[in-house]
Amino acid sequence: MKKKENDIYLIDGNSLCYRAFYAIKGLSTSKGIPTNAIYGVLNMLRKLVKEHSPKMLTFVFDMKGPTTRHEKFKEYKVHRQPMPDDLIDQMDSIKEFISAYNIPIFQKEGYEADDIIATLAEKAKDKGLSVTIVTGDKDALQLVDKFTKVLSPHTTSDKLYDPKGVHEKYGIGPDQMVELMALMGDSTDNIPGVKGVGQVTALKLVTKYGSVENIYKNIEKIEPESLRKKLKENRKMAELSRELVELDRKVPVKFDIKEAQVGEPDWEKLAELCRKFEFNKLLKEIMFRGEEQPELFAEKSKKGVSNIVEVNEGGRTIKVGLDVKSLLASSGDGSSKAGKDFFDIMIADYLLDPSRPGRDLTEIVLKPEYNISPGEENDTILKLYNKLRSLLEEKELIQLFQDVEMPLVKVIADMEKEGVGIDVPCLKELSQQMEKNLAKTTKKIYSLAGEEFNINSPKQLQVILFDKLGLPKVKKTKTGASTDESVLRKLAKSHELPAVLLEYRVMNKLKTGYYDSILQLVDKKTHRLHAKFNQAVTATGRLSSSEPNLQNIPVKTDMGKEIRRAFIPGEKDMLILAADYSQIELRILAHLSGDMELIKAFEKEEDVHSFTASKIYGCKMDEVTGEMRRAAKTINFGIIYGMGPFRLAKDLEIELSEAKLFIDSYFKQYAGVKAFIDKTIKEARKRGYVTTLLNRRRYIPEITSSNERMKSFAERVAVNTPVQGSAADLIKLAMIACHDELLESETKMVIQVHDELVFEVPEKELKNTSGKIKEIMESVIKLEVPLKVDIEAGKNWLDMKNI
């Protein structure tokens, strides 16, 4: 679209800021700085420039403090909520971006943005310009004429109001909008209007008499009498409302047409701001504006595969690249070890800030803390290598990188290449059976609901559960009453349908997410599944998996467990062996906290949940009931995840007061755990991060947030991460040690899920190999409590026996 030489766009900054703030939720930098309003305003500005190509552009903002309208009416805008703190925090930054685009900003103390816009519009028309006002505020519609339009921005399509558009919307012309609003008032701005006169009545009056003044000239003609009485009683308010509504077109502001010309932005300043607020996509556009992107930032970075660049350091050759695992897989090298001779930029970046997404070469190189100017690929990789290595050393992460993460790259590459055997006929049979069960369950749901509907539609389910069946609305969401799992579990106590819906969801997830998914992903020739294990995703340091997500199989149910039956060894004379760390997180908690009671329980090889139950209930171990042990188990694991009394009361279905007593009793018995939690939170507030046994870091900037909910979440993360992250360190050490020990044998590591390692092992070597694995895993690191590994083996991953 060509720029129109006589067009000027006047943007209502406050209107756009509010719209952006409420339209985008939860967007912030990796340090917890809110950016939703900044991001939204930038998107709207860029959309406007792209679609309308304005030649002249200005932003207009309100300033804090009373205005001329407050002098006329003290209650003006008295009911309006103050600007949210998170939006206030972003306003200066929004203006910084606008200034970096070299767009002038108008604001004047004592005057509202609407009045400044009205004045600028008049001045612009005097200079022969046509005006487009960008705002979501209907007050601006009174300014519309043959030279002035109002553009109301929307996420889907913008609405442009000319005189005809205003008449279509309100039934009157723009010149009568002031009269309409004076009569009907405006609750948002606390403009009183005529009490008892709404939009319909006001519209009839304005259509017939034209103006407030003319209405009162003809007051005795107005029927019915009740309306005439309202108008008479509220005459002063109607006239005052008209004064308040009408925009001032003579605000003392200077307007230089040259300043509003759209010119070249300050690209350097924009790039600096994009780095600061982590707007990487926009940063890329700025960095490569009008130029063809180098190969580095095109196809290769999308695939996550780059060249290997060799660096000489102290007589040793270091191979530097991005996503070394993919490079090893593509090279087909099955013998080399990716250890200290490799430097993976993606893994280094992950260790330096595990919470922040974006690990392709483009996103890494543009991160502000690295301060790298991108260029030719090999040159950029070398710059990143020097910077990242320096930062790893500075933050004492180099040992974790060299001794754990880099050797693990090769281990994972071999696991993915090896894959695991799948019993395809068995899986097909399970899938078919699940399909039959789903059909039966669907019929039962329809019968209980009394009609057929889309079971997977939350809206249709809301209608059935809450409107038709009249079940209580437990929890609300943006789209109405919630139908999530926790809600259905509560509702299942009073009606059969929610319980059946829960069964349906479990079956449907298994059928689509696992049975069908694995059948699609399994190698058709070898019948082996080559799932992906991701090393640079989770904030705690744990591995994640995809294609499919083996970490998320719902094994707490019999239906979920059944899927493991299809995982088998690739050869007839082999077995599946699973080695699982027993209660590893509780053991790590005992080690980190140094709590003598917890340490004593593990040293004596007590059932730690029964041991805890005996402590908090004040009874002997042999007096602990199953119910008491269950409660203790919930508390034991809940403490690691920062569980409070509300969550405990909910999980155990007990009174809040009882839950508080349980937690108080727990901390009284395990004083060392309470001290560890308090110390960890205190240190996290001071340093901004927490560490694991191997010094892995996780930054938690939200821990100093003024938002209480955000701060509480951060405190839970601060406690959980050292425990869960240390468990991640431990399993990674075990994976490396087992892999290296078994490298030349027929036994292969094929799966890692949480605290469990799965192997395919020759049946004849089972006793010897299982002993080796157990010894390696239990001695891979020294803790204050003994590590314990449970080992099972069998013909598939479900039917297994203890060894």
State residue 298's pLDDT score.
45
Has residue 356 been placed in a domain? Answer: yes
Buried/exposed 80-116: b ≥16 CB within 10 Å, e otherwise: eeebeebbebbbebbbbbbbbbbbbebbbeebbbbbb
Task: Give residue-wise pLDDT tens across range 573-604.
Answer: 999 999 999 999 999 999 999 999 999 999 99
Query: In which band, very low, low, confident or very high, does the pLDDT at 334 lie, cut at 50, 70 and 90?
Result: very low
Residue 56 predicted with pLDDT over 90: yes
In this structure, are 393 and 432 located in the same domain? no
Task: Give residue-wise pLDDT tens across range 636-685.
Answer: 999 888 888 988 998 888 899 999 999 999 999 999 999 999 999 999 99
In this structure, are 11 and 142 located in the same domain? yes
State residue 477's pLDDT score.
73
Has residue 236 been placed in a domain? Answer: no
Has residue 222 been placed in a domain? Answer: no
Which of 638, 669, 700 is the last residue in one of the domains?
Answer: 669
Average pLDDT over residues 351-374: 82
Distance CA 392, CA 386 (A): 10
Task: Give residue-wise pLDDT tens across range 239-255.
Answer: 888 888 888 898 999 88
Return the higher-pLDDT residue of 552 and 614. 614
Has residue 145 been placed in a domain? Answer: yes
Which of 175, 202, 235 is the last residue in one of the domains?
Answer: 175
Task: Tell the residue number behind the tokens 């230089």, with chain if given.
Answer: 256
State residue 99's pLDDT score.
95
In this structure, are 125 and 59 located in the same domain? yes
Mean pLDDT is lowest, of 376-385, 430-439, 554-563, 776-785, for 554-563
Please give the order of strands across the beta sheet that includes 309-313: 309-313, 316-321, 342-344
Task: Give residue-wise pLDDT tens across range 692-747.
Answer: 999 999 999 889 887 788 888 899 999 999 999 999 999 999 999 999 999 889 99
Q: Give Cβ neighbours of residue 139 (< 8 Å, ≥ 6 apart).
A: 114, 181, 245, 247
Tokens of 168: 């279509």
| Cα–Cα nearest to 684, from 730, 715, 649, 663 | 715
746 contacts 709 by C-beta, under 8 angstroms: no
Residue 764 predicted with pLDDT over 70: yes
Mean pLDDT is lowest, of 45-49, 275-279, 454-458, 661-665, for 275-279
Return the higher-pLDDT residue of 587 and 513. 587
In this structure, are 657 and 708 located in the same domain? no
Has residue 244 been placed in a domain? Answer: no
Return the amino acid letter for 151.
Answer: L
Task: Give residue-wise pLDDT tens across range 472-509.
Answer: 988 877 667 889 888 899 899 889 999 999 999 999 98
In this structure, are 577 and 615 located in the same domain? no
In this structure, are 765 and 716 located in the same domain? yes
Phi and psi of 765, rounded to 5°? -105, 10
In this structure, are 49 and 120 located in the same domain? yes
In this structure, are 621 and 709 located in the same domain? no
Domain with 650, as residue range(s), is 596-669
State residue 762's pLDDT score.
96
Query: In which band, very low, low, confident or very high, does the pLDDT at 305 lie, cut at 50, 70 and 90?
Result: very low
Has residue 217 been placed in a domain? Answer: no
Has residue 39 been placed in a domain? Answer: yes
For 270-283, give the DSSP string.
HHHHHHHHT-HHHH
Tokens of 680: 């960890």
Share of the chain above pLDDT 70, in %: 93
Give, for 568, the enclosing helix (H) or strand (E): strand 567-568
In this structure, are 167 and 19 located in the same domain? yes
State residue 665's pLDDT score.
92
Tokens of 674: 């309470």
Has residue 229 been placed in a domain? Answer: no
338 contacts 736 by C-beta, under 8 angstroms: no
State residue 70's pLDDT score.
61
Which of 418, 449, 470 is the last residue in one of the domains?
Answer: 418
Q: What is the CATH number of the domain that holds 484?
A: 1.20.1060.10
- Number of domains forming the structure of the chain: 5
State residue 332's pLDDT score.
55
SS3 59: strand
Please give the order of strands across the beta sheet that includes 567-568: 528-529, 420-422, 567-568
State residue 256's pLDDT score.
86
In this structure, are 303 and 357 located in the same domain? yes
Give CA angle at 522 (521, 523), nearest 5°: 115
The Cα-based distances of 94 to 91, 100, 280, 363, 741 in angstroms read 5, 10, 17, 23, 57
In this structure, are 309 and 344 located in the same domain? yes
In this structure, are 52 and 119 located in the same domain? yes
Q: What is the CATH number of the domain that holds 711?
A: 3.30.70.370
